[in-house]
């Protein structure tokens, strides 16, 4: 019987033929939570008298959303996490380490794994050929204690991409375009599987960006088959032996196949206040902005900072714009320093913050003022997302964000990337 | 199970950022306090207008976005008896059932604000008593009915010492 990637991994993890639509109980490889959802997961376990973890190495708490803590209530939530981890042996990735999804792909997830995380962007790890999905504190708490989860095997939408991107167009433009086409609930309960020659030629950094945003179309996970690029990435991370071939069968059944020509994609932007409100950047060029944010689990990787530095090198951010840069992990931050990227960004007028989720979740480090407009490389632009329902958020690639920061208004990066 | 209450109406794409705003992140360990801010960015002072047993009645894709279980948790704490929506986002749906908040997908365009509703969970109908019409809803999958009947996923696990689904 031929299967999609989702069906293959869930069959292996449940020990039965996991056809789309079937409900299965699976053994998980990892259960993770962050400082916004972890304390509730811990409380659920303590209240139920289940304060244990199935495998201390495979249960990880990330302190990334409010890192370092801006308030005593959050400092106390952090204490609660550290104390539970000490009691049970679970791991803690503390304030200096970075965003959970970036950390998972750097150090932990291998192809074929099943990861559940109390954070909706857990789907990022799907780019390594792992079934990874976001859930709430209760599901993840039970996963932490028992090492199991129940799942309905999702049908799959195949996103088949062919051809080459034109200069100034990136993976972020592709995924915004896909979400615009599918809409914010077009893939609800389903898996997105990205493939085709364009995806095969794509860096891991770009693949993470694609899978990260699968949930913005409602999807349960985003998945990409493994290949030589996956292997090279794992080797570079010192985990080459964890490589495994994960691929759909050639005649796997898809609910829908969406074929996209990369040449036809322009720089895209999501307008306030939904992620599927997508237009070509040119349509809103000239819109004044007060803040630009480059970072997050979507686009805070070394390659993203590099693109921004290339555009900003030797120039100055527009006078009325604040440019905030947040590397997605300590490893990325360090490399960006070693490669001179951070210096270029700071000289151009950027403020570079500690690694973490930063302003994206509206907790600290860049909350918008009333009536302000922010252009961000993050994955969500919901009303109030960046801490103020009187502010507006647009979403774009790092290139569009950096070039717009120079111009002081939304601008198409193709003007300088011919 | 029969539930009865008034409709509190909301539109499409009500995100978890609207239900439980990120700027109140520090209140997540104090759910009764966070519940006072329920949906306030969509409707000011909403929590004060709720009578116990009222229903949230929304459009498409209710609860999209973040995985924060605090969102359904404060809906329940605020006194809402169930959520009815045209469609519900995946993580929110699971979270709601896990904590024992009933959620049903039905044609909510036939319901107006303050309409008096009666939900018959077993029959799978919402009676709009104000309008005198009956609306069928998609029955919950058996696995979710079992979890709801046990009072949520954690009580289910406690009862059986693991999954009994």
Which residues from chain B sit within 8 angstroms of residue A36, using beta carbons? 25, 28, 68
DSSP codes joined into one string, A164-191:
-PPTT--HHHHHHHHHHHH-TTTTTT-E
pLDDT-derived band at A358, boundaries 50, 70, 90: confident
Is residue B165 situated within a structural domain? no
Model pLDDT for residues A212-230, shown as the tens digit of each residue: 999 999 999 999 999 999 9
How many Å lie between the alpha carbon of B68 and the closest alpha carbon of chain A? 6
Q: Does residue A406 surpass a pLDDT of 90?
A: yes
* Stretch A58-74: mean pLDDT: 97
The pLDDT, as a whole number, for residue B1 is 82
Residue % of chain B over a pLDDT of 70: 100
Give tens-digit pLDDT for B38-72.
999 999 999 999 999 999 999 999 999 999 999 99
Q: Quick check: A418 pLDDT over 80?
A: no
pLDDT for B45 equals: 97
Q: Is residue B63 part of a domain?
A: yes
pLDDT at A410 over 90: yes
Could you tell me the CATH number of the domain that includes residue B32? 3.20.19.10
Q: Would you say residue B52 lies in a domain?
A: yes
Cis peptide before A273 (omega within 30 of 0): yes
**Chain A closest-CA separation from residue B17 CA (Å):** 6
Report the candidate in B89, B28, B40, B57 with the shortest Cα–Cα distance to residue A389: B40
pLDDT at residue A308 greater than cutoff 90: yes
**CB-CB under 8 Å, A134 with B157:** no
A185 in contact with B, Cβ within 8 Å: yes
Q: How far apart are CA A56 and CA B87, in angstroms?
A: 38
Return the pLDDT at B121.
87
Print burial letters for A137-173: b (CB count within 10 Å at least 16), e (below 16). Answer: bbbbbbbbbbbbbbbbbbbbbbbbbeeebbebbbbbb
Do the domain assignments include residue B65? yes
The stretch B149-154 carries a mean pLDDT of 94
Q: Which residues pair with A30 in a beta bridge?
A: A115
Q: What angle do CA A4, A123, B162 make, to 5 degrees?
A: 85
CATH architecture of the domain formed by A268-415: 2-Layer Sandwich (3.30)
Segment A147-168 mean pLDDT:
98
State percent of chain A over pLDDT 70: 100
The stretch A263-274 carries a mean pLDDT of 98
Percent of chain A having pLDDT more than 90?
99
d(CA A217, CA A178): 8
Tell whether the model's pLDDT for residue A1 goes beyond 80.
no
Using a CB-CB distance cutoff of 8 angstroms, which residues of chain B are in contact with residue A380?
A: 15, 17, 65
User: What are the residue boundaries of the structural domains of chain A, listed by start?
Assistant: 22-151, 154-265, 268-415
Number of domains in chain B: 1
Q: Cα separation of A83 and A226, whole Å?
A: 38
CATH number of the domain at A22-151, please?
3.30.499.10
Q: Is A412 exposed, middle or buried (0-12, 13-18, 19+ CB in 10 A)?
A: buried
Q: Return mean pLDDT, chain A.
A: 98
Residues of A in contact with B25 (CB under 8 A): 36, 65-66, 74, 361-363
Residue A134 CA: distances (Å) to CA of A30, A106, A200, A220, A395: 12, 18, 25, 7, 21
Q: What is the mean pLDDT of residues A123-128?
A: 98
Which one-letter DSSP state was computed for residue A135?
-
The pLDDT value given to residue B141: 87
Looking at residue A98, what DSSP letter applies? B
User: What integer is the mean pLDDT of B79-98?
Assistant: 97
CA dihedral for A201, A206, A211, A216, sign (positive or negative) = negative
Question: What is the percentage of chain B residues whose pLDDT exceeds 90?
Answer: 91
- pLDDT per residue over A283-304, tens digit each? 999 999 999 999 999 999 999 9
Nearest to A120 among B30, B41, B91 (CB): B91
Q: Tell me, yes or no, if A79 comes closer than 8 A to chain B by beta carbon.
A: no
* CATH number corresponding to A154-265: 3.30.499.10
Q: In what order do the strands lie in the sheet with A91-93?
A: A91-93, A59-62, A30-34, A114-118, A131-134
When mean pLDDT is compared across A63-72, A316-325, B134-143, the lowest value belongs to B134-143
Q: Range of B80's domain?
A: 2-160
Is B71 a domain residue?
Answer: yes
Tell me the average pLDDT of chain B.
96
Of A128, A311, A351, A99, which is closest to residue A221 (Cα–Cα)? A128
Alpha carbon distance A275, A296 (integer Å): 16
């Amino acid at each position: 019987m031929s299967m999609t990637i989702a069906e293959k991994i869930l069959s292996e993890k449940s020990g039965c033929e996991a056809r789309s639509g079937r409900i299965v109980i699976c053994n998980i490889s990892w259960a993770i939570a962050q400082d916004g959802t972890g304390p509730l997961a811990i409380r659920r376990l303590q209240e139920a008298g289940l304060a244990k973890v199935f495998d201390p190495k495979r249960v990880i708490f990330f302190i990334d959303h409010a890192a370092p803590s801006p308030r005593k209530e959050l400092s106390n939530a952090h204490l609660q996490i550290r104390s539970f981890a000490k009691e049970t042996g679970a791991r803690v990735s503390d304030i200096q380490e970075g965003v959970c999804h970036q950390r998972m792909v750097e150090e932990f997830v291998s192809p074929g794994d099943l990861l559940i995380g109390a954070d909706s962007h857990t789907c990022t790890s799907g780019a390594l050929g792992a079934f990874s999905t976001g859930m709430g504190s209760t599901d993840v708490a039970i996963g932490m204690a028992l090492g199991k989860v129940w799942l309905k095997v999702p049908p799959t939408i195949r996103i088949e991409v062919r051809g080459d991107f034109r200069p100034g167009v990136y993976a972020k433009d592709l995924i915004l375009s896909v979400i615009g086409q599918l809409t914010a609930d077009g893939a609800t309960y389903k898996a997105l599987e990205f493939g085709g020659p364009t995806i095969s030629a794509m860096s891991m950094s770009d693949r993470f960006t694609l899978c990260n945003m699968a949930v913005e179309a409602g999807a349960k996970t985003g998945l990409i088959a493994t290949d030589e690029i996956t292997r090279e990435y794992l080797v570079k991370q010192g985990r080459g032996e964890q490589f495994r071939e994960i691929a759909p069968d050639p005649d796997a059944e898809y609910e829908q196949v969406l074929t996209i020509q990369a040449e036809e994609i322009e720089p895209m932007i999501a307008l306030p206040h939904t992620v599927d409100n997508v237009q070509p950047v040119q349509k809103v060029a000239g819109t004044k902005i007060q803040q630009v944010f480059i970072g997050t689990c979507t686009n805070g990787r070394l390659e993203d900072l590099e693109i921004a530095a290339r555009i900003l090198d030797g120039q100055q951010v527009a006078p009325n714009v604040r440019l905030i840069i947040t590397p997605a992990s300590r490893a990325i931050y360090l490399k960006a320093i070693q490669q001179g990227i951070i210096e270029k960004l700071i000289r151009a007028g950027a403020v570079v913050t500690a690694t973490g989720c930063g302003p994206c979740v509206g907790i600290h480090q860049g909350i918008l003022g009333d009536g302000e407009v922010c252009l961000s490389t993050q994955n969500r632009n919901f009303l109030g997302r960046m801490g103020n329902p009187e502010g507006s958020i647009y979403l774009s690639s790092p290139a569009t964000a950096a070039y717009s920061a120079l111009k002081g208004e939304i601008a198409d990066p193709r003007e300088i990337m011919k | 199970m029969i539930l009865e209450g008034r409709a509190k109406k909301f539109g499409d794409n009500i995100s978890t950022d609207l239900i439980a705003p990120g700027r109140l992140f520090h209140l997540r360990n104090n759910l009764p306090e966070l519940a006072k801010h329920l949906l306030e960015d969509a409707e000011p002072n909403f929590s004060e207008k709720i009578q116990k047993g009222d229903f949230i009645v929304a459009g498409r894709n209710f609860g999209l976005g973040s995985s924060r279980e605090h969102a359904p948790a404060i809906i329940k704490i605020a006194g809402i008896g169930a959520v009815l929506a045209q469609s519900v986002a995946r993580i929110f749906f699971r979270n709601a059932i896990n904590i024992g908040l009933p959620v049903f997908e039905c044609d909510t365009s036939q319901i107006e604000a303050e309409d008096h509703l009666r939900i018959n969970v077993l029959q799978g109908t919402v009676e709009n008593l104000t309008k005198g019409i009956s609306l069928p809803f998609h029955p919950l999958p058996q696995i979710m009915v079992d979890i709801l009947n046990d009072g949520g996923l954690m009580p289910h696990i406690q009862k059986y010492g693991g999954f009994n689904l």
